[in-house]
Amino acid sequence: MFMGEYQHTVDTKGRLIIPAKFRDDLDGGFVVTRGLDKCLFAYTMDEWKRLEEKLKALPVTKKDARAFTRFFFSGATEVELDKQGRVNLPANLLSYAGLEKDCVVLGVSSRIEIWAKEAWEGYFEESEDSFNEIAENLIDFDI
């Protein structure tokens, strides 16, 4: 399980240091793709395979299913950590998430999220005020 919030930077070659606490689970490669809310999602290979099976089961006759699957898979790339614990992010993903320098790497249970620092701060500030309302809406899920 991934959890926590870590401040890092993307260097001029598009490399991002992955927090040390996450590295053991990502050893041997993982998948990074476009996420929701203009961030990147990263999944272990096992988690990616589970997600892939669920998305493959979506009906191709549904426009929203096709659009989401297309969006999610077209941005996906398999990556590996280098000896310094960095990952090289492709230009299309850096551009999508607005990652230029300062980043926030979040552990969100079964995935990692990578945000531009300013985008994360704006999202957090906006969501913080409605956290109680969000929690109330999720009460039906036994949380």
Most confident among 111-115, 125-129, 130-134 (mean pLDDT): 111-115
Read off the pLDDT band of 142 (50, 70, 90). low
Identify whether 126 is part of a domain: no
Contact 19, 9 (CB under 8 A): no
Average pLDDT over residues 81-106: 97
Domains in the chain, number = 1
Contact 39, 97 (CB under 8 A): yes
pLDDT in tens, 32-57: 999 999 999 999 999 999 999 999 99
Strand partners, 132: none
| Mean of pLDDT over the chain | 93
How far apart (Å, rounded) are the C-alpha atoms in residues 137 and 131?
10
Identify whether 132 is part of a domain: no
Structural domain boundaries enclosing 93: 2-116
Q: The domain that contains 75 carries what CATH number?
A: 3.40.1550.20
First to last CA, the chain: 17
Identify whether 136 is part of a domain: no
Q: Report pLDDT for 143.
A: 55
Q: Report pLDDT for 98.
A: 97
Q: Residues near 66 by Cβ (< 8 Å), separated by ≥ 6? A: 60
Q: Report pLDDT for 96.
A: 97
pTM of the full structure:
0.91
Phi, psi of 90, rounded to the nearest 5 degrees: -70, 155
Identify whether 111 is part of a domain: yes
